[in-house]
Amino acid sequence: MRKRRQGREVLLPGPGIIGEYINSLLEIGLNMITVWMHGEAGSQCGRRLLCELNQKARSQSALHSALTYTGGLLLSLLLPEASPSDHLLAMRQGRRGADCLATFDRCQVTL
């Protein structure tokens, strides 16, 4: 009778800290592009998405949260939908845990 050889499990290295930072940057960049694309005048979508982004950033790392906030600040100056102060208020509401879907209910887009 022949003995069967059991296969070895090969462990591959993970992305590491640098890989996680790169993934975080890419995620934030794609989210900012989404906000830009849906931030049309009068739709509330820019504010809703900024609110959602800042709400999600609360549970992320400090770097992720800081980059999300910085990106939101830049977008608040560029989005035609509302004034920069309205966008900053939406970001603050998200960081404080507001219900972004109910607050900005005229927008059907969500992250």
> Alpha-carbon distance 49 to 82, whole Å?
13
Amino acid at position 58, single letter: R
Query: In the predicted model, is pLDDT for residue 19 greater than 90?
Result: no
Instruction: Find out whether 49 and 91 touch, Cβ atoms under 8 Å.
Output: no
Query: In the predicted model, is pLDDT for residue 26 greater than 80?
Result: yes
Per residue in 57-105, pLDDT (tens digit) is 988 888 889 999 999 999 988 888 888 999 999 999 999 999 999 999 9
Domain regions of the chain by residue span: 42-100
Query: In the predicted model, is pLDDT for residue 6 greater than 70?
Result: no
pTM, full prediction: 0.79
Instruction: Find out whether 3 and 46 touch, Cβ atoms under 8 Å.
Output: no
Per residue in 92-104, pLDDT (tens digit) is 999 999 999 999 9
The pLDDT of residue 41: 67
pLDDT classification of 55: cutoffs 50, 70, 90: very high
